[in-house]
A and B are shown apart, each in its own frame.
Chain A
């Protein structure tokens, strides 16, 4: 016999289901008056430091049909590359930027949308800088465990070329699935759940 480790098992995930918007974006889903506003709907104020950008796109299933019942959350560093989190030990992040946003996909077009700022660079575990990126989490009906991916920026070619996470993608043809294309200050990032263009998802 050995001493028991005493660890617990993580609660198993279950799909967010078709009505995730009721729980996480009730005002968007038409349930007014319970919360003043939906959490994560507004990321940026006048005081937030950094370049304003828009991120928009769709989540597409294996037939190329956009999901109209999905929910996305993003998590990113501030303009100086600091996270607004107690676990951030490198310095204090911009107090006017939480770094976290939440968006429901539209019931007609399937588009999600975030108004945010361009994040700064943050270090990989070995101290090398990663390219500017945003962590993305996707849940929906039919997704049994939330999917994690990253958005990188199409106009950061030099930084992307030396990014240690992108470098780990063996099949180089898949790297563009993580790169949002710039059109002025708007970045378009479609997420493909399946198929030739299947987005690289992470086991983080």
Chain B
């Protein structure tokens, strides 16, 4: 990757994760977590070189349509059905510094709430022009943008009548393997956010609200697409100025 900043590479360990802010492993309201959550205490490990380093993804991996879910699976001259939107924002770290060169991968259901997947059982129809995945890399200011259609809500087997609010899944790769994060983006004004057992795995209302993208009227493109702004925050890094390390390391 081309060096996106004059700052020297950062080698500090990451701020410890606030595990009261994240969902706990065991959340019985989300039934699948019951048999898939570790029951023993995690072993705390302040970052070694194995955790503070991470791979770099260059812009060369990106295809021209990777950040356009309306067209990246569509037949030539056609486009996906649905409400056309732009999702954009910045990836920052906890120190409010932009994270340049972060790889974002996203996936979502189509406008009817149906995923293109063999195990998907919802009766809503597939859109032949919608695949449901895309990716991009943040620029030097940590900024990203992509085009898609607004996903539909969908029912899922958990409680008798549980539905997911409209959402886009995000996978984020920052600068260290310990910064790895998967989360979901929700849409401003959706009353279903507050009924969802997966949203409710997050204990703190403020942490949920941080995942709700605002309708960004200023960036809406007339006669084309509305915009939603979604900023993502990754773990910050400690300064290495006063780290006690062996000479020469």
Is the CB of A10 closer than 8 A to any CB of chain B? yes
A61 / chain B contacts, CB cutoff of 8 Å: 35-36
User: Total A-B pairs in contact (CB under 8 Å)?
Assistant: 279
Question: A137 touches which one: B73, B180, B198 (CB < 8 A)?
Answer: B180
The residues in A between 2 and 27 inclusive whose CB is less than 8 angstroms from any CB of B are: 6-24, 26
Binding stretch for chain A, among B79-87, B141-149, B217-225, B229-237? B229-237
Of all chain B residues, which has the CB nearest A134?
B50
Asked if B35 and A204 sit within 8 Å, CB to CB, the answer is no
B118 / chain A contacts, CB cutoff of 8 Å: 30, 107
Is the CB of B59 closer than 8 A to any CB of chain A? no
Residue of A83, A85, A127 contacting most chain B CB atoms (<10 Å): A85
B180 / chain A contacts, CB cutoff of 8 Å: 73, 137, 146
Question: A198 touches which one: B38, B44, B178, B181 (CB < 8 A)?
Answer: B38
Is the CB of A161 closer than 8 A to any CB of chain B? no
Give min CB distance, B49 to chain A, whole Å.
5
In whole angstroms, what is the CA distance A142 to B201 when docked?
Answer: 11
Give min CB distance, B220 to chain A, whole Å.
24
Asked if B236 and A31 sit within 8 Å, CB to CB, the answer is no
Is the CB of B246 closer than 8 A to any CB of chain A? yes
Question: Given that A23-B106, A201-B38, A203-B17 are contacting pairs, would A17 and B169 also be in contact in the complex, using a CB cutoff of 8 Å?
Answer: yes
Asked if B37 and A193 sit within 8 Å, CB to CB, the answer is yes
Give min CB distance, A112 to chain B, whole Å.
16
Of all chain A residues, which has the CB nearest B177?
A75
The residues in A between 132 and 155 inclusive whose CB is less than 8 angstroms from any CB of B are: 133, 135, 137, 139-148, 150
The residues in B between 36 and 76 inclusive whose CB is less than 8 angstroms from any CB of A are: 36-40, 42-57, 61, 63, 65-66, 72-73
B24 / chain A contacts, CB cutoff of 8 Å: 144
The residues in A between 85 and 121 inclusive whose CB is less than 8 angstroms from any CB of B are: 85-90, 98-100, 107
Is the CB of A176 closer than 8 A to any CB of chain B? no
Tally chain A residues at the interface, Cβ within 8 Å.
83
Residue of A6, A35, A124, A174 contacting most chain B CB atoms (<10 Å): A35
Asked if B210 and A203 sit within 8 Å, CB to CB, the answer is no
Question: Given that A23-B107, A67-B36 are contacting pairs, would A12 and B234 also be in contact in the complex, using a CB cutoff of 8 Å?
Answer: no
Give min CB distance, B127 to chain A, whole Å.
13
B140 / chain A contacts, CB cutoff of 8 Å: none
0/1 string, B169-204, CB within 8 A of A gives 1 = 101000111101111100000000000001101101
In whole angstroms, what is the CA distance A110 to B52 when docked?
Answer: 30
Give min CB distance, B113 to chain A, whole Å.
12
B96 / chain A contacts, CB cutoff of 8 Å: 6-8
A9 / chain B contacts, CB cutoff of 8 Å: 18, 21, 94, 206-207, 210, 233
Of all chain A residues, which has the CB nearest B96?
A8
A98 / chain B contacts, CB cutoff of 8 Å: 55
Question: A201 touches which one: B22, B42, B46, B116 (CB < 8 A)?
Answer: B42
Asked if A26 and B55 sit within 8 Å, CB to CB, the answer is no
Of all chain A residues, which has the CB nearest B38?
A201
Is the CB of A84 closer than 8 A to any CB of chain B? yes
Give min CB distance, B96 to chain A, whole Å.
5
0/1 string, B86-118, CB within 8 A of A gives 1 = 000000111110000000011100000001111
A-B contact pairs, 20 of them (CB 8 A): A6-B96, A7-B94, A7-B95, A8-B93, A8-B94, A13-B183, A31-B73, A34-B72, A34-B131, A87-B10, A87-B52, A90-B249, A100-B54, A127-B246, A135-B50, A142-B30, A142-B35, A143-B25, A144-B25, A202-B43
